[in-house]
Structure 1
Amino acid sequence: MESKQNVIVVQTFEFALGIVKYCEALQDNRKFVIANQLLKSGTSIGANIREAQNAESKADFIHKFKIAAKEIEETFYWLELCKFSENYPNPDDLIVKLEKISRIANKIIITSKQK
């Protein structure tokens, strides 16, 4: 990546890589349904934020971030299900990373609305 990096783009990409790895572990344990749901929502966050970087307008930018915020909430749901289900790998590190991403994304939405 280039020297001046966009923090939220970098963090969501790295988070998506972690989600891919975690979902592979779920699939190895035959937890296919949750693995598929988590893979979709967890990788969609970064995809929407990356899309927002080329938004056509401020409203489009905010809209893409709001979609990412919804995907963040869905991803929290799947990770919490994994955390509290028996025989699932521990997702705590992903939850911590997602909490940080969520705070940044929400600040960006609020700040963008004020401009």
Structure 2
Amino acid sequence: MQDLKLRTKRFTIDCWHLCTKIPKSRELDAWVRQLIKCSSSVGVNYRASQRAKSTADFINKLKIVEEEADESVYWL
């Protein structure tokens, strides 16, 4: 589990670094914001899943992680 915590954090940081290299423009600003939001949500929600109150809560939190990861792929 520790490996996934580190990997999701690294993913967030890598996406952030990528976004800093994208030219600033009105058109790309929305794209960059969306990528930063969903990529950071992957790690945050994975960490939250590790503190789930029940199996159902754990599964629900992991589904959110899956959705945010899929959205990140879209924006990438």
| TM-score exceeds 0.5 | yes
Within a 5 Å distance, the mapping from 1:4-23 to structure 2 comes to: 6-23=2-19
Match of 1:66 in 2: 63
TM-score by length of 1: 0.61
Larger Rg: 1
Gaps of 5+ in 1: 80-115
Match of 1:46 in 2: 43
Pick 1 or 2: higher relative contact order, CA cutoff 8 A, min separation 6.
2
Moved over 6 A (4+): none
Give CA deviations for 1:38-59 in whole Å, capped at 9, x if unaligned: 0001110000000111111111
Give identity over the alignment, percent.
34
TM-score by length of 2: 0.90
RMSD of the alignment, in Å? 1.1
